Chain A
Amino acid sequence: MIRLKGLRKVYGRQTVLDGIDLDIAKGEIVVVIGPSGTGKSTLLRCINFLEKPTAGEITVGDLTVDACSTSRKDILALRRRTAFVFQNYALFANKNALDNIAERLIVVDKWPKEKAREKAREILQRIGLGDKAEAYPASLSGGQQQRVGIGRAMATGAEVILFDEPTSSLDPEWVEEVLGLMKQLASEHQTMVVVTHEMSFARDVADRVIFVDGGRIVEQGPPSELFSNPQDPRTRDFLRKVLPDQTV
């Protein structure tokens, strides 16, 4: 479903991703954890070419793109098969909640406006914002904005949704409603790759947790194993810091 082969990203003399190999099955929920600045976000952003990888191969569905020889068409096709949820929501400020969600259907998929808005209205209901269709981003709370951000990703019908620290910019009071929506999506078997510091989400929802450090996958496994019995000393060290109340 998604396959990354030898993904590398180098900025100047700094290697941020140092050969990532990863297979993700349809419907799988993968949570990526690791210390700050170890390339977790870069990994996600390379999957849809918001950052151009230095080398490696990306397969999403039946499309394979080689980082060294990409055409504009490939990148567009890749982006249309993936959806992205941003840390800072990144809603279109000139469009209301409904049109933020409908935009992709209207512009990229060329649906008639009314049909697209109908679908967007359906999604607004599902994300619990049925009454906010006309609201512009500036008038929504952080939690509501991020839910619209997720709704926008849902509307793409993408094979995978990539979440880049979706709750890190939120006031604590809004974190739960966003995580709740993500859990709901997970229960509907939406393929998801989530970079997050919310360990409880990783433990409760993930099928697989991936620990990344120094641009490499250090260790991976189901959350029950990874959290209770980490093998690598770096994983143990990291988990001890983020889960202080737990003996690792």
Chain B
Amino acid sequence: MNVLDFDYMLGLIPVLLKYLPLTLEMAAAGMVLALILACLLAVIRVLKVPVLNRFTMLFISFFRGTPLLVQLFLFYYGLPQLVSSLTAINGITATIMGLTMHFSAYMAESIRAAIVGVDRSQTEAALSIGMTNAQLMRRIILPQATRIAVPTLMNYFIDMIKATSLAFTLGVTELMGATQKEAAGSFLYFEAFIIVAIIYWVIVEMLSWLQRYLEHRLNKAYSR
């Protein structure tokens, strides 16, 4: 067995870290957009808005029922053929679109469950003091649903960070794409990929820590 090239591994870390911001930016953008879309989808599902509800169910079913990689290829290679104004779509945009759609479908379902999980009597109380449905959602239901949903949503965010690595299949040089190139140049595949694995791992661990902190803070109002 060959001995690992530790010098190469150490030297690779700063090279790869230069691509970390792009990875995180794609994940952050995807997360923010997915959250907004998921809230919208979840509210439509909860209020059973006519027509939109059926459309939402179809949307969720499709984006949960097909692989993310297939969706990315659809957005990047497929859409420009269909809609000529999208020919300029780049890999980063396509990745963010794919992450948004894919994860919003999952997140919509957990947000919906969280909304339904808020005690029904509080809805009646809010209506009884004359709140509108929108005020009820914004002031009473969503803040409490957030607390219920945060652990799962954080898990999706963690998943999303790892899923950004698929962007390299669209030619984006992010963390994974950069590693691939480095490895191809040096032929030190194991060294390169174990380093990138460790980088992902450390980031995910840091987020898990943040997740525990958030849960602790959000639960404050509910503990005796």
Contact = CB atoms under 8 A, between A and B. Distances in A.
Interface residues of A, number: 25
A29 interface: no
Contacts of A96: 221
Interface string A66-94: 00000000001001101110101011111
Interface string A38-77: 0000000000101000000000000000000000000010
B20 to A, nearest CB: 36
A201 interface: no
A59 B222 CA distance: 39
B202 interface: no
A33 B87 CA distance: 73
Contacts of A84: 124-125, 128-129
Interface in B132-167: 132, 135, 139-140, 143-144, 147
Nearest to B218: A94
A213 B69 CA distance: 65
B122 interface: yes
A207 to B, nearest CB: 24
B133 to A, nearest CB: 9
A217 to B, nearest CB: 24
- Range, interface on chain B: 20 to 34
| Chain B contact residues, majority secondary structure | helix
Contacts of B144: 93-94
B221 A136 contact: yes
B131 A107 contact: yes
Contact of A108 (B125, B129, B140, B143): B129
Contacts of B119: 90, 93
Contact of B140 (A50, A92, A138): A92
Contacts of A93: 119, 122, 144, 221-222
A83 B223 contact: no
A139 B224 contact: yes
B139 A103 contact: yes
A137 B135 CA distance: 20
Nearest to B136: A107
7 contacts: A50-B124, A50-B128, A80-B129, A90-B121, A90-B122, A92-B126, A104-B129
